[in-house]
Amino acid sequence: MNIIVLGAGAFGTAIANELSVNTENNAVLFSRNKEKVEEINLHNTNQSCFPNKHLTKHLRASFDKKEIQRADVIFIALPSPIIIEYLKKLRPYFSKSVLLVNLSKGLLENGVTIVDRVKIELNTENVVALKGPSFAVEIMEHADTLLTLGYSTREQYEIINKIIIDTALHIDCTTDIRGVEVLSVLKNIYALVLGIVDAKYNSPNTRFMILTKAFSEVRVLLRALGGAHDTLFLACGFGDLCLTSLNDLSRNRTLGLLIGKGFFNADYKSNSVILEGLKAVDLVHSFPLDHVMDTLPLLNKLHSFFGSKENVLSIQFDKLVDQKFKTVLTYGTFDLLHYGHLEILRRASSLGDKLIVGISTDEFNELKGKTCILPYEKRKELLESLDYVDKVIPEDNWEQKVSDVKENDVDIFVMGNDWEGKFDELKAYCKVIYFPRTKGISTTKLKSILKEEE
């Protein structure tokens, strides 16, 4: 298998070196730095990244673009801001069937992932993500390392599985590529927080209290940004969050330690390490996350700190951690369950800890003049099968909402914005939110399409 690794920095070098352990791989480290290429080929070293360490004798380096033409797999290990322009320049040399593997961590403007942007710019679907708890220096020592592969096709999985045979690299898998990409950014934010807490308090009790809260916030953000809940429990999620937050080899944790010790000030903002953490916080905080931001006190505290002129971050644990259990309530008919329904349920569930859904009974639908394709029991069964939904209750009449709110200790009432203002009387009992409907889809439209196809 012909493999090119783009980027001869620490991580690119470490991955290329480990892949070359499998002698069935023809691994080439691509760099535009001719001196570095010569050093690797003549001395089996990359001193700028790994002083006093030797690379395997099977690893070659090259600056010849013709090497790229022969590549079956290309690993991308470049700084995220330069990836797109770099790849566009090399695009004429890519074979049509080449598999692109994104190792780089980051999100682009408006929350677009690197994988999605590469697919658009290079007009290819053959792009996967490979992320997880991994320090380059550990990979150089051939430490067994688990990474998460975000992939689309079985062929992609088989290729990656084949090239890591006989190496110290291992994989778990998901088709949730977006979740893998998003988690690679979120873990950096909370590594900052854990570094601050460890520097200020040096207490295992306090550390794991905040780690628990951090994990909870990552879960909320992952779902709000379109990732799948289960991805959090893979190497790219729980594993990478813990590695980055609790190990001093982590640059973002180191930044947190600086802040916690009071060594941070505005002058540090020109430092590349500072900028990496600062950009992650600012980027995620800028996303239009509706009312989810209210449930993220750790992120909000960090964003507020970076926006101030203070050099010490104060922590009030009762405000950051002690939060009331929140119950969310919404209603609907939910006939012909579709993506628009799933989207509003996903967003509603992210606002609290428990989501209750009231669905109109068949008798109530008759009173409203509505005809449903599915009966109440089937609609109830479908909703109960969703991870987002914790409880389903019947809606028999218009007037029951106040009693439902009281009986279920509801904190937040959610409806689509086509009902805007019509349930404002519930504000006396709980918070009322109107979500925008998902554009381009509705039950009425689907029924119309189905009728036309009969």
φ and ψ of 330, to 5 deg: -140, 165
Q: From CA 288, how far away is CA 173, in angstroms rounded?
A: 29
5 neighbors 30 (Cβ within 8 angstroms): yes
Gap between the Cα atoms of 225 and 183, Å rounded: 10
The span from the CA of 40 to the CA of 64, in Å, is 14
In Å, how far from its chain's centre is CA 35?
A: 37
What is the three-class DSSP state of 157?
A: helix
d(CA 97, CA 162): 17
77 and 5 Cβ atoms separated by less than 8 Å: yes
CA–CA gap between residue 192 and residue 252 (Å, rounded):
5
The active-site residue out of 34, 269, 368, 422 is 368
Cα separation, 415 vs 437, whole angstroms: 9
Enclosing H/E stretch for 298? helix 297-306
Residue type, 269: K
For the chain, how far is it from start to end, CA to CA, in angstroms?
Answer: 51
What six digits make up the tokens of 241? Answer: 């969050």
Question: Residue 3 in contact with residue 72, Cβ under 8 Å?
Answer: yes
Enter the tokens of residue 445.
């439209």
- In three-state secondary structure terms, 226 is coil
Catalytic hit among 370, 378, 406, 422: 370
Tokens linked to 255: 């930044």
Neighbouring CB atoms inside 10 A of 217's CB total: 20
Show the CA angle centred on residue 378, arms to residues 374 and 379, nearest 5°: 75
DSSP 242-272: HHHHH-TT-HHHHHHHHHHTT---GGGGGSH
Residue 368 annotated as catalytic: yes
- Give phi and psi for 111, each to the nearest 5: 80, 15
**Which of 121, 236, 240, 91 shows the shortest CA–CA distance to 177?**
236
In three-state secondary structure terms, 422 is coil
Known catalytic residue at 370: yes
Catalytic residues: 368, 370
